[in-house]
């Protein structure tokens, strides 16, 4: 299998889907002539031209709404938000239009659109540019929400998202674009709504999604060195959520740590914690632990910003806590 970067995996997905279906187009700030702020769309403008790879002005609400209009009219737009931090300007279009139009029209309309871009903390950017917004989108019925941790998942999920007849919010991450991984040559899809066991184990379940899956895996490795077997579940899809995978794993390990970059209050992680508490009450040997961002806006200083985020150390400590090895 070829080893390619996460950004190239996304690029391949876009390229393949644009070749396959001429209703697919890409739009956003700097996606065409500049090849994308994070170079995800490299080469696509050269190949498909102005008509299908469209540079927009900086008007998140405007171009997000334009994408929604194009989708209900029969195209399959992929709207790139340079980062999710700016997508908040487009929330009205996403929540009130993309997510609701099918419902409000009594099923007459479909909204086959993909919103994608970098979500979550980056480095040295302070609070407006470094925040995990998964919870905002996962909250909204009418949207599908996915997050890919690996190049394999990134390509397969994006292809599924483009073919889906619903609005799909796909979360990537600035710090993931460069990571490499195996991606098959032949076409494949990763279904939306299916979690993945990234590492099997039987003493504690660590549940996460997106970029922090890698921290969960590093923590599991460290735990293994200490003789503890941890299972790492990558949700991949927040909405719909693969509750069965979560429940099955916790029934096996009886212990659960959730890792979510969001702030803790009303977060997606806290919802997963509810799912576990509700469905696994009888088998749990310890209370569920939730590792989130600390409940503050992200500071600029690097030491402080690292202290805010989930870390391998925090995950290991939480795993030991539910195993009653540490408190």
Partner 1 sequence: MAQTPDVKKYDKKFLIGLLEQMALIRRFEEKAAQQYGLRKIGGFCHIYIGQEAVATGAVSAVDLAKDYVLTAYRDHGHALAVGMDPKSVMAELYGKKTGCSRAKGGSMHMFDASKNFLGGNGIVGAHIPVSTGVGLKIKYREEDGVVLCFFGDGAIHQGSFHESLNMAGVWKLPVVYICENNQYGMGTDYRRVSAEPDLWKLAGSYKMPGTFADGMNALDVHEKVKTAVERARSDSQPSLIEARTYRYMGHSMSDPAKYRTKEELMEQKEQDPIIILQKQMNEADMLTDDEYKEIDDKAKETVKEAIDFAENSEEPEIDSLYEDVLA
Ligand X SMILES: Cc1ncc(C[n+]2csc(CCOP(=O)(O)OP(=O)(O)O)c2C)c(N)n1
Q: Which stretch binds partner 1 (CB under 8 A): 152-160, 177-185, 231-239, 298-306?
A: 298-306
Q: Which of ligand X, partner 1, none is residue 19 near (CB under 5 to 8 Å by kind)?
A: none
Nearest residue to 132 via CA among 177, 81, 172: 172
Strands 230-234 and 180-183 turn out to be: unpaired
Q: Are strands 180-183 and 196-199 parallel, antiparallel or unpaired?
A: unpaired
Q: What is the C-alpha separation between 274 and 152, in angstroms, rounded?
A: 30
Q: Is 302 a catalytic residue?
A: no
Q: Catalytic site residue 214? A: no
Tell me the C-alpha distance between 324 and 318, whole Å.
10
Whichever of 62 and 264 has its CB closer to partner 1, that residue is 62
Closest to partner 1 by CB, 110 vs 129, is 129
Under rule CB under 8 A, residue 69 binds partner 1: no
Catalytic residue from among 60, 80, 231, 261: 60
Q: To the nearest whole angstrom, how small is the minimum distance from the Cβ of residue 67 to ligand X?
A: 15
In angstroms, what is the minimal distance from the CB of 95 to ligand X? Answer: 17
Residue 218 interacts, among partner 1, ligand X, none and using kind-specific CB cut-offs from 5 to 8 Å, with none
DSSP letter (8 states) at residue 8: H
- 78 forms bridges with which residues in the sheet? 26, 114
- Of 124, 59, 55, the C-alpha closest to 87 is 59
The two counts, helices (H) then strands (E), for the chain are: 13, 14
3-state percent breakdown (helix, strand, coil) of the chain, nearest 5: 40, 20, 40
Out of 61, 129, 139, 180, pick the active-site residue: 129
Distance of CA 43 to the CA centre of its chain: 24
Interface segment toward ligand X; rule CB under 6 A; list 4-12, 82-90, 144-152, 240-248? 82-90
* Contacting residue, 10, 70, 82, 318, with ligand X by CB under 6 A: 82
Q: Closer to partner 1 at the Cβ: 131 or 166?
A: 131
Q: Which of residues 23-62 bind ligand X (CB under 6 A)?
A: 29, 58, 60
Closest among 197, 198, 236, 203 to 218, alpha carbons compared: 198
Q: Tokens 């407006």 — which residue?
A: 128
Strands (E), the chain: 2-5, 24-28, 53-55, 76-83, 114-118, 144-147, 168-172, 180-183, 196-199, 204-208, 230-234, 237-239, 256-259, 289-291
**Residue among 15 and 55 whose Cβ is closer to ligand X:** 55
DSSP structural state of residue 93? I
Interacting residue with partner 1 among 23, 127, 194, 222 (CB under 8 A): 127
Binding partner at 57 among ligand X, partner 1, none, C-beta below 5 to 8 Å by kind: partner 1
Residue whose CB is less far from partner 1, 37 or 197: 37
23, 89, 96, 127: residue in contact with ligand X (rule CB under 6 A): 89
Binding mask 78-117 for partner 1 (x = CB under 8 A): -------xx--x----------------------------
On the CB side of 53, how many CA atoms lie within 13 Å of its CA? 23
34 or 188: CB nearest partner 1: 34
- Catalytic positions are 60, 129
**Residues contributing to the site for ligand X (CB under 6 A):** 29, 58, 60, 82, 86, 89
**Residues contributing to the site for partner 1 (CB under 8 A):** 29-30, 33-34, 37, 55-59, 61-62, 85-86, 89, 123-129, 294, 296-297, 299-304, 307-308
């Amino acid at each position: 299998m070829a080893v390619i970067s996460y950004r190239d995996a996304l690029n391949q997905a876009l390229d393949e889907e644009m070749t396959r279906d001429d209703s697919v187009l890409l739009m956003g700030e700097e996606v065409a002539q500049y090849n994308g702020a994070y170079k995800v769309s490299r080469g696509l403008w050269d190949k498909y031209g102005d008509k299908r790879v469209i540079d927009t002005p900086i008007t998140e609400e405007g171009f997000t709404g334009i994408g929604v209009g194009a989708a209900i009219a029969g195209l399959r737009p992929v709207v790139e938000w340079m980062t999710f931090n700016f997508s908040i300007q487009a929330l009205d279009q996403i929540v009130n239009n993309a997510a609701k139009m099918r419902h409000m029209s009594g099923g007459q309309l479909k909204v086959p659109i993909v919103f994608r871009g970098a979500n979550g903390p980056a480095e040295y950017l302070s609070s407006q540019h470094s925040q995990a917004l998964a919870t905002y989108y996962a909250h909204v019925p009418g949207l599908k929400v996915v997050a890919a941790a690996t190049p394999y998942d990134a390509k397969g999920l994006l292809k599924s998202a483009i073919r889906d007849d619903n609005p799909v919010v796909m979360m990537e991450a600035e710090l993931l674009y460069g990571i490499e991984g195996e991606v098959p040559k032949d076409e494949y899809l990763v279904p939306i709504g299916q979690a993945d066991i990234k590492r099997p184990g039987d003493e504690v379940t660590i549940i996460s999604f997106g970029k922090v899956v890698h921290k969960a895996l590093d923590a599991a490795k460290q735990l293994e060195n200490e003789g503890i077997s941890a299972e790492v579940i990558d949700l991949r899809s927040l909405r719909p959520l693969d509750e069965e995978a979560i429940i099955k794993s916790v029934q096996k390990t009886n212990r659960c740590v959730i890792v979510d970059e969001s702030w803790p209050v009303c977060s997606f992680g806290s919802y997963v914690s509810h799912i576990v508490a509700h469905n696994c009450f009888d088998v749990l040997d310890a209370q569920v632990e939730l590792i989130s961002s600390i409940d503050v806006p992200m500071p600029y200083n690097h030491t402080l910003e690292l202290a805010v985020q989930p870390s391998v150390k925090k995950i290991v400590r939480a795993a030991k806590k539910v195993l009653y090895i540490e408190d």
